[in-house]
Amino acid sequence: MGDILSSLFSVEWLGIPFMQRALLVGGLLAALGGYYGAFVVQRRMSFLGAGLAHAAFGGIAAGLLLEMEPLWIALPFTTAVAAGIHWIRRATRLAPDTAIGVFFSVSVALGVLFLSLRTGSPVDAYSYLFGSILAVGQMDVWLAVSLVALAAFTVPALWGRWAYATFDEESARAHGVSVDRDSLLLTLFVALTIVVSIKMVGILLVSAWLVIPAATSRLLSRRFASMTAGAILCSLAATIMGLHASFVVDVPSGASIVLAQTALFIVAFGLSLRGTRSGRAA
């Protein structure tokens, strides 16, 4: 216990190369997750995150079966699923959660099939399921930088339109906003962010990682802009705390990050209740 406590307050871990990569990738992806998560939560699309995470499972399992880099298979596979979900939602009378559920189930079934056909060790599959700071490599750095650059490039053109359609889709359509195209772009960007985050967070927890910071910020925010900024800050803080705890205690990084997010959510929930009671008393 003493060794663990001393490690919690040590800064030596910052000099370790794999931790530096994990912190860089984690920070970049946390900012993206907070940004997109605000839209996901406000549009009540939380189940979409779970569906895309399990779609990625099918692509990663296919990559492991083919003995290729799993992310190179998971990226096109998951974006294709995201486009399919969007198309079915728009072309049929099915509810969005029904369309997501169909792709969710098919992707998981394919993933299980591909893994059952594979003869190698399940260790690498385990790291994709639960996340591992050791799995984050140089390629993940470049992917994270590319996604952040893409988001930064599109924010001036898309953030206002996305926010408008989030709160009043019909009015946005009436004012000439390409709601369907913008919704597809948002879904694709969320899909890419989820896939690239899987090595750090894990398939089983990446949807929670996307949703919890935005939900935390929503408890304390009255405007969507402040909610988005708060979600980014919450995601960054929880990722740093979670990665540190993962290194010190030697547990999967996904679990430690999501638990750190949950701790911040509990604090925000308590503050929101206190504010509500104070408002009623006044």
Considering only CA atoms, which of 20, 7, 35, 98 is closest in space to residue 230?
35
Tokens 């907070």 belong to: 34
Please tell me the predicted confidence (pLDDT) of residue 141.
Answer: 92
End-to-end CA, the chain = 47
pTM (2 d.p.): 0.89
| pLDDT tens series, the chain, 282 aa | 445 545 555 566 677 888 888 899 999 999 999 999 999 999 888 888 888 988 999 999 998 888 888 889 999 999 999 999 888 888 887 777 888 888 889 999 998 898 888 776 555 677 788 888 878 888 999 999 999 999 999 998 899 999 999 998 889 888 888 888 999 999 999 999 999 999 889 888 999 999 999 999 999 998 999 999 999 999 999 999 999 888 888 888 899 999 999 999 999 999 888 766 655 555
Query: What domains, with CATH codes, occur in the chain?
Result: 2-275 (1.10.3470.10)
Q: Look at residue 97 in the predicted model and tell me its pLDDT.
A: 81
Residue 152 has a pLDDT of: 93
Q: Which helix (H) or strand (E) holds 210?
A: helix 206-220
* Res 213: pLDDT: 96
For residue 137, what pLDDT is reported?
86
How far lies 210's CA from each of 6, 41, 78, 116, 225, in Å? 31, 9, 16, 29, 17
How far apart CA 55 and CA 194 sit, in angstroms, is: 10
Instruction: Check residue 89 and give its pLDDT.
Output: 82
Residue 71, C-beta contacts closer than 8 angstroms, at least 6 positions apart: 60, 63, 139, 143, 195, 196, 198, 199
Rounded Cα distance, 150 and 233, in Å: 20
